[in-house]
Structure 1
């Protein structure tokens, strides 16, 4: 199985004292790591070769497989090995030839066939398999080992019936198999154990591994999800066993940049020639001291522990600054564990008084270190910083990005305690931000703060919007260039999702299904839901969320069906907003009401009707609820962002230099509800931000730009929650935003004296919401960021997307772009499977190679066309406009639509260039066709005079010039039909069956097919 993962970078942005931070650290990037590729090589199958007695003891008394399995489960480890037991070399050979065995353990045999003989026979037949010898120690065995060639075995251990030793053997072998890759991959750490006494390392390894594995389970609490917690344990320190000076030095040199500490015996061989092959073992009585001295010359901070059964070695060790453990002590394992905690970063971080060595503060987690770094006494901070204790503690907890960064900032390089505090704090903040982006964490009220990001309460689904939001967050994380602009940050708002299982529990415990599924009025259903009870257990969670956001909160629906990839299901349920209040209990009450009101909206009459129309079953719908920080600022009791918008990666109405695949954005001042409700927005292509049609003409700018906006009423506090989720939303005039000062960089000013519009918000004159500072003056890189969002979003979803967003702009020309939602563009009416260019002309009533709009329509039977025979002249265009207005009124009264065909530019103010209709005169048209004539040639207008209406109502706009073979038009087919209505210049005809209108907005191809062909 191949694993794909991404490397994420996060620049450390120092929050204070940035002008004092040395330049080599001020631009440092943290590289996040993935644990998924660690410990890939495992011991899965173990063959134990033992005599019948020992096999029986292992099976029935020792129950080795059961014990190992239980050990794995207790430690949270995966992949417990499977054990196969045999008694003879012949049985072992049969198993080895049929089963993929990773490790062979040879245990005591009998007088004729001991463990060494068995192991030697196995290695002779299968030299590539790891082989370990377990043997009980006696005087005879000790003498035997002195004359035995042990080099063919991986290890020899002393067996006293302790199954924990077998777990340690497996872990030791796995560490040896994975260390090179895992250090190279993410920088895992190594503990070097130097010991040649088989008895002693057989005793110390189970204790050492037991402590390390327990530590790995504890530091897994730094993870954000259960799966991540499991993976993080793979980042635990590895143990490497060396049995001679030369072997230890070679291992240290290879891994010294990732060495967490060294535990060494004193007496062991120095020359490899005497390692295991010679009949005598020449041991140097000070080999351990020599090794630690050599290591200390290379690393002044590395924890070095000397262990010995000779008590006089304590004085020698401590004289050189090494820690000492007495092998003869009955509590040796306890002493060693304390040294690991104190000096290798295991357990809690204990800040101590350097003089008395008394504990002054205990830190349990990364967040606690962040929260308390400025509270630690100066002398204690100096003591620990000068010894690189912080970096080592983080390393032991597998927080490698921060530990690697801090390891390079030693006391020698920066002798300033306060700057060390600030650097540590900023590095932790940057790491936590980086870790939170793109991850749906389990909500922990003790960890969720202003640096947290996205969390879930419950184990159910996030719902459609929740999934989309999490996906957006992941897209941002995978593309660091989103945050490559110095004056802009891109993120999603702080979010907590109440998963669908919370909804299920709420419905069942409050017995709400009966009224919910009834035909009761919406108000009655809402009343029942508002009087139901949410669990009190959520109260401290909600308070923690309030404290982290300190802003108004949007309570949004996120049902299983919303924003589905396969069917349109957006905008059906409610979204409520609650203000940020000083009274947290009042804010809690309003939040609870909002959550229950969103739940109730699942069962409103319109929701049930929509479910039926889309062939879904209402009682199968499940609702998650998103609690989300509202983007914006408080302007004296009304809260709103400078910019809200909706971005679509396909533009079916491209004009000028725009292309369909360059997308389109609708921008508005204030809350995004204004856009959803169909308010007047500014339409702009992110690739052509200087070309805004609505600002191209003075009259159009005054008529077709935003005059109102929405804001949250921060003063509206009460229990009057209504079915209408906009009950506390203010609808304001743009001129009121001028008083708030929120129009800076987004407004132009109309001067009636000059009859001109000037970029910028000046005192006199009407303000036009043009977003000129952002689109033209490059105050904020919104066009570039929208290009990225559109490109990366569509690539990730493998289909066109729609993205909601909001922007806060600051007076210093910085800003924050918040991506609020992503959904696929799915509209069954717009699903084109046919290549329109391949349709033959004989099937078409008309064809255009320059069309606007997208989709399929098959319910229009009527065509209204201008009679462009030889008698046509442009001087009749005003009269034609009047005639068409009368015909259009009759279509509106009948609730019907039609295809409109005429010469020149529709809607032109110059009647010599086209028919001067207004939008109400042709509002029932489904397709509008500009026809060029041999004697009446006018450049196509692309519907610019009523472009907003075309896009709002999805009306198609075709341009054809049959006289130069640009497009096709069967005028004769229309002339052959009887007229339903006919004037001096216009004819209205009706086909017996509907025409089929097909528009491909990507290729700008459009056809109207003859019925029945």
Structure 2
């Protein structure tokens, strides 16, 4: 598959994409504040809009971009120039850097333009980073800087001040350890920051503001969940409410654009329920910030019914138990009159999928057009109001595809024991002679009260094993913000990990999830960290638990962590949808890290 993906990169188109300057385009020049470059995220978004407007296809030309202004790098340079003793400030702690930036003044022309922009908008505002290095084909900087959705209340001056402070906080993040360490790791040098100030997608529905649906999209599906799907089919990760939920390792609906009804988790009601979104996010007009609710929370269903009525049934269904076998019912008005203890509402998008085939063909066409225009596979962020068929483009950029050729052959397994095998969601890749495997025992983790302590311990092991690499095998979702779904380890705590295997144990609630669009997933792709999910007990999957129980290892008993020393190989073949972790027989000796 590696050659297939690399063949999709058109150097001539890519050169045109990078050389295009929105300042020279009358359609966009008036929205640019200051002179010069507006940063990668802003420029790529405007290029995407240019491409769609010039496409000649009505369903693409009708794509909108929320009202926005783009503050150039020039403003960042001028802002820094008037901070006394800047070098010493930047050597301080992050809190000190941020405070000094908040005390400084933005250029007057920036403040004036923000004021004129806000005069015409009463919606919440998104303030987003758009640095020079975010123009890179490979490095997305997802989650490394700061973007914020807020509803600044009060008079115009108060609203302007709130936006100004967010811009200063983003400027400060350029020099925070997370960003600096990331740039140093990839030898990228210094960065400069542009800013996007954008009307947030959505509508006021009473006290709250949010779009009905939002998500991320890819022109390639690099991790197919069955061989019926093709890499070039494209993929969406869709959520109800603010798109902030689509970039986290939580639940979202995954769609192949060529076959939207084909679910990664299959069609068994229980599995669908386990993978369905329940929590969603909105902007609270009273608090001026993002709030998260579960659709089953008291009062939330009534609120949604008030503003959506029967339309809510396009996105949500009722799951009921029946002697241990679940089943689905459509969400209708009777549910609100008499709720039963054995039921709950899940956001499945089931009826939406059946009733909106044109949405999926539109998105597939949009992604393919952007890919052709930019000269490389693309990823986007978007919001969509189904009742109006209103599609807003929020981000569009080339997609890094760092996969390699698969050289796996069954003969590679001679003299080795397969301890893990996956049958879906794998890309091409290969590792040989990995010296360590770190395993988190699901039986201990499921009842552990110290799940965050387990995550921090993984980070310490990561440091102790340096410069050696390792494979991490853990239940559920590695990097989950919800410890009940998987280990809440930070990506920065896995710097020496070369392969992550998520083990699904359905009876314990641990289910891997295809997390395209999340910041965690983007880091894996950029750093060429291999990933595969293993579903224990399912056909085509292998989780050789007896090997993990009987093989010599170093144990952190209280935390359920085991460290195996040996010679481990990883083989992944996208074309056949096979992922394997094998150990060379006779290589595990149980050496302790303290002995090294």
TM-score (norm 1): 0.42
> Are the equivalent residues in 2 in contact too, given 1:642–1:809 (CA < 8 A)?
yes
Of 773, 782, 796, the residue aligned with 2:359 is 782
Provide Cα deviations, 1:890-913, integer angstroms capped at 9, x if missing partner. 99977697698xxxxx99xxxxxx
Of 285, 290, 307, the residue aligned with 1:729 is 290
> Are the equivalent residues in 2 in contact too, given 1:668–1:682 (CA < 8 A)?
yes
Residue 345 of structure 2: aligned partner:
767
Provide Cα deviations, 1:296-324, integer angstroms capped at 9, x if missing partner. xxxxxxxxxxxxxxxxxxxxxxxxxxxxx
Structure 1: how far apart are the matches of 2:267 and 2:508? 11
2:118 match: secondary structure: helix
Of 504, 508, 517, the residue aligned with 2:81 is 508
Structure 1: gaps spanning 5 or more residues = 6-223, 229-434, 444-454, 718-727, 866-882, 901-905, 908-917, 930-940, 961-965, 982-987
Is 1:474 the counterpart of 2:43 in the alignment? no
Structure 2: how far apart are the matches of 1:888 and 1:635? 39
Of 786, 800, 819, the residue aligned with 2:393 is 819
| TM-aligned CA deviation for residue 595 of structure 1 | 1.4
| TM-aligned CA deviation for residue 679 of structure 1 | 2.6
- Distance 1:515-1:837 versus aligned 2 partners, 3 A rule: same
| TM-aligned CA deviation for residue 505 of structure 1 | 0.7
- Structure with the bigger RCO (C-alpha within 8 Å, sep 6+) is 2
Structure 2: gaps spanning 5 or more residues = 1-11, 14-20, 449-453, 463-469, 477-483, 490-496, 516-520, 522-529, 554-560, 588-596
Structure 2: how far apart are the matches of 1:806 and 1:457? 25
| TM-aligned CA deviation for residue 519 of structure 1 | 2.3
Is 1:458 the counterpart of 2:19 in the alignment? no
Is 1:627 the counterpart of 2:188 in the alignment? no
Of 836, 852, 872, the residue aligned with 2:425 is 852
Residue 377 of structure 2: aligned partner:
800
1:476 match: secondary structure: helix
Structure 1: how far apart are the matches of 2:110 and 2:264? 50
> Are the equivalent residues in 2 in contact too, given 1:836–1:1005 (CA < 8 A)?
no
Structure 2: how far apart are the matches of 1:595 and 1:481? 36
> Are the equivalent residues in 2 in contact too, given 1:809–1:816 (CA < 8 A)?
yes
Residue 155 of structure 2: aligned partner:
583
Structure 1: how far apart are the matches of 2:502 and 2:123? 48
Residue 54 of structure 1: aligned partner:
none
Residue 492 of structure 2: aligned partner:
none
Residue 557 of structure 1: aligned partner:
129
Residue 308 of structure 1: aligned partner:
none
| 1:360-759 map, 5 Å | 436=27, 440-441=28-29, 443=30, 455-481=31-57, 483=59, 489-511=62-84, 513-520=86-93, 522-562=94-134, 564-579=136-151, 581=153, 583-617=155-189, 620-648=190-218, 649-655=220-226, 657-693=228-264, 696-716=267-287, 728-735=289-296, 736=300, 738-740=302-304, 741-742=307-308, 744=312, 746-750=314-318, 752=320, 756-759=327-330
Provide Cα deviations, 1:27-57, integer angstroms capped at 9, x if missing partner. xxxxxxxxxxxxxxxxxxxxxxxxxxxxxxx
| TM-aligned CA deviation for residue 993 of structure 1 | 4.4
| TM-aligned CA deviation for residue 468 of structure 1 | 1.9
Structure 2: how far apart are the matches of 1:599 and 1:989? 42
- Distance 1:581-1:989 versus aligned 2 partners, 3 A rule: closer
Structure 2: how far apart are the matches of 1:584 and 1:663? 43
| TM-aligned CA deviation for residue 564 of structure 1 | 1.8
> Are the equivalent residues in 1 in contact too, given 2:221–2:256 (CA < 8 A)?
no
Structure 1: how far apart are the matches of 2:274 and 2:258? 25
| TM-aligned CA deviation for residue 630 of structure 1 | 0.8
- Distance 1:660-1:624 versus aligned 2 partners, 3 A rule: same
Structure 2: how far apart are the matches of 1:464 and 1:652? 27
Provide Cα deviations, 1:81-122, integer angstroms capped at 9, x if missing partner. xxxxxxxxxxxxxxxxxxxxxxxxxxxxxxxxxxxxxxxxxx
1:490 match: secondary structure: coil
- Distance 1:636-1:959 versus aligned 2 partners, 3 A rule: closer
1:600 match: secondary structure: helix
> Are the equivalent residues in 1 in contact too, given 2:571–2:580 (CA < 8 A)?
yes
Structure 2: how far apart are the matches of 1:749 and 1:527? 47
Structure 2: how far apart are the matches of 1:794 and 1:225? 19
| TM-aligned CA deviation for residue 511 of structure 1 | 3.4
User: Which has a greater percent of strand?
Assistant: 2
> Are the equivalent residues in 2 in contact too, given 1:516–1:600 (CA < 8 A)?
no
| 1:139-218 map, 5 Å | none
Structure 1: how far apart are the matches of 2:164 and 2:535? 55
Provide Cα deviations, 1:229-285, integer angstroms capped at 9, x if missing partner. xxxxxxxxxxxxxxxxxxxxxxxxxxxxxxxxxxxxxxxxxxxxxxxxxxxxxxxxx
Residue 949 of structure 1: aligned partner:
512
TM-score (norm 2): 0.69
- Distance 1:849-1:836 versus aligned 2 partners, 3 A rule: farther
| TM-aligned CA deviation for residue 517 of structure 1 | 1.6
Structure 2: how far apart are the matches of 1:858 and 1:944? 33
